[in-house]
Structure 1
Amino acid sequence: MAQLVQVEIGDGSDGSVPAGVAVVRLDRPPMNALNTQVQEELRAAAARLTADADVRAVVLFGGDKVFAAGADVKEFSQQDHETMFVDAGRLSSSLDAVARIPKPVIAAVTGYALGGGCELALTADFRVSADNAKWGQPEILLGIIPGAGGTQRLPRLIGPARAKDLIYTGRFVDAEEALQIGLVDAVVPAAEVYSTALAMAAKFATGPSLALAAAKAAVDEGLDGDLASGLRLEAHLFASLFATEDRTTGMQSFIENGPGKAVFK
């Protein structure tokens, strides 16, 4: 069985992928539909990259033509309620595994990011969109709703009303509107999407990895609870970083050389 999710970990030797950066590439042409195999390979990739201390930032990429145009509708059409009652949790948890990678994750989106493809991009910390890309959650047009995080991550990102507009109508959003509503963080020509995402990841890869992981946990987990709980979590994570070598390096460099010059191990 062919591998549908490729993982490349850069070591900086040939300049294609920067050292410390991993690229997770969907490879199921023509549209990278997220069938069961893709979902499980994404889960495995997330586990691998979470455990690998040499990986300090991750780029999600679907290729030059398309990110992912959604779930495999043919596969869905063969499933009844009993089957999907089990599979829905597996589908959601496979993308959630990507969201829980404790490192900066950037989605590099070309072509279409629709349905499950949009939900996969939503698991990233940042989204770089091609200027001709199309975004959307068109599940309502199939008589269903998003089932891999769309009803939860999208409103947290762009607000409930805007999320309901996209989910209720199933309409596509172009790159300009996606940027305006906060669905994406940068819009560049299609030929520059991958290189832009790699450059972003490379900057994070030289940062303090434990502090970045703590910052991600504080924001993501804090949003799941009330303000008081989030503040307690933040205080705990803040204090814990005073036990790290990166904190010592960063503060010593600041005192001796000024801000922004620390070299973290």
Structure 2
Amino acid sequence: MLSYPEGGGAVIVTGAAGGIGRAAAEIFAARSTAPVVLWDHDPAVHRTAADIRATAAGCTTHADVVDVTDADSVDRAFAAVTERFGRIEAVVHAAGVLETGEVSELTGAQWDRCLAVNATGTMHVTRRAAAVLAAAGGGSIVVVTSNAATTPRVGMAAYGASKAAATAFAMALGLEVAAAGVRVNVVSPGSTDTPMLRGMFAEGGVELPEAARDRVLAGDLGSFRLGIPLRRVGQPEDVAESIYFLTSDRARHITMHNLRVDGGATFDA
């Protein structure tokens, strides 16, 4: 379990209404003594927090609607957490969006949305988090990016570019705040069974259809996409476990590390 001092601070998770963000919030609520604060632009984040409270006995959860593309919204949200809980121990930034389409068909709106949420949103959240944690004597930041940040994907230029920018920013930030005791790490998932992945398939729904799963596992030579050597599609919990480890005292000497969680799909990158 994560160890927090008496009266210690909260863990903030962005993008927590569903997918990897929700899985991360659930694991913190179940295993740590820290209050867990869930942020998302989707008001459904309040329902997620209520669900977690109902299943994790004794946990403290709080939810807020936060737009990570708006610096003022992020600043207000950090101030509210500090006022409510007094201290922040860790920030997990899992908010992100996916836009697909070949470069020749990519619209300006798609490009702007990816950059605004995935890159600028990362800057807003992690820069503020680093300042708060450094002033308090240290802490941990984990940014969820993607293996698409380092391996080109057909039809994912905007997404990959935005995640590459987020990764580079996180690494530079980690270098600047290391002396203040703030660790900044990156987790890069591959294909993970979330609403984002299901949305890439016309038949997507509440779970990944078997045919779509087979396509993900096999890869596609025509689009230069490798399959998954472990022969399984990742689950949100797989990524959440890595996030939890990187925020814990067990990872106290790890910073500026990019941990790929993709079943070996980008083993050559």
Question: TM-score band, normalised by the shorter chain?
Answer: 0.3 to 0.5
TM-score scaled by length of structure 1? 0.32
Q: 1 or 2 for the larger relative contact order (CA 8 Å, sep ≥6)?
A: 2
- Superposition TM-score, scaled by structure 2 size: 0.32
* Structure of larger gyration radius: 1
